[in-house]
Amino acid sequence: MAKYRKLGRTSAQRKALLRNQVTALLNNGKIITTEAKAKEVRKIAEGLIALAVKEKDNFETVKVTAKVPVKDKDGKRVKEVVDGKKVTKFETVEKEIKKDLPTRSHARRQMLKVLYPVVSVPTEAAGRKKNTKEVDLVAKLFDEYAPKYAERKGGYTRIVKIGQRKGDAALEVVLELI
């Protein structure tokens, strides 16, 4: 008996497909796929969420000072003339940042091994690179999903059958986060 479904693909294709679907599930909250793929994606996604729940409070807050450029009302850097040259004006700011402890850093790397980078494009700037932003799914796992599922002992996803696909009559399901 196999430990996983082969899904009729080579190992590289299968790994890429599952990574893609896990990334889409965690980014969007639900995906529509076949039953066999959903059961495999569920294993991976629940493992990542369980890891995030386990490591959610494993950080320390640290105060740091940083030099930040001064900006005007339009968001552009303020320049000043020093010795005949235009130089950006900086100010010192004190910030509080989260510093991961070693086990949380390891968990973050384990998640990054599975998840693909996601870029969000605003609807008004469709087709342009200017306003695109990279979504940090690992931070979303730690900050959004981990507190949500902290009291739950597994079972973070649900599979709902929606019928057969028209082309090949494969059973389609909705895989969603609860």
Tell me the two tokens of residue 170: 């494969």
Fold entry, domain 11-58+102-177:
50s Ribosomal Protein L17; Chain: A, (3.90.1030)
Would you say 36 and 8 are in contact if contact means Cβ atoms under 8 Å apart? no
pLDDT surpasses 80 at 123: no
What does DSSP say about strands 157-164 and 133-135: parallel, antiparallel, or unpaired?
unpaired
The mean pLDDT value for 148-152 works out to: 92
The mean pLDDT value for 163-170 works out to: 92
pLDDT number for residue 125: 61
The mean pLDDT value for 120-133 works out to: 72
CA distance 86 to 82: 6
Domain boundaries, the chain: 11-58+102-177, 59-100
Tell me the two tokens of residue 168: 């090949």
Tell me the two tokens of residue 163: 């019928």
What does DSSP say about strands 171-177 and 30-34: parallel, antiparallel, or unpaired?
antiparallel
Tell me the two tokens of residue 89: 């004006």
C-alpha distances out from residue 78 to 52, 70, 75, 102, 174, Å: 41, 6, 9, 39, 51
pLDDT interval class at 127 (50, 70, 90): low
Q: Which residue has the higher pLDDT, 41 or 125?
A: 41
pLDDT digits (tens, 9 = 90+) for 52-86: 999 988 889 999 999 989 888 888 888 888 888 88
Give the lowest-confidence range in 58-62, 98-102, 122-126.
122-126
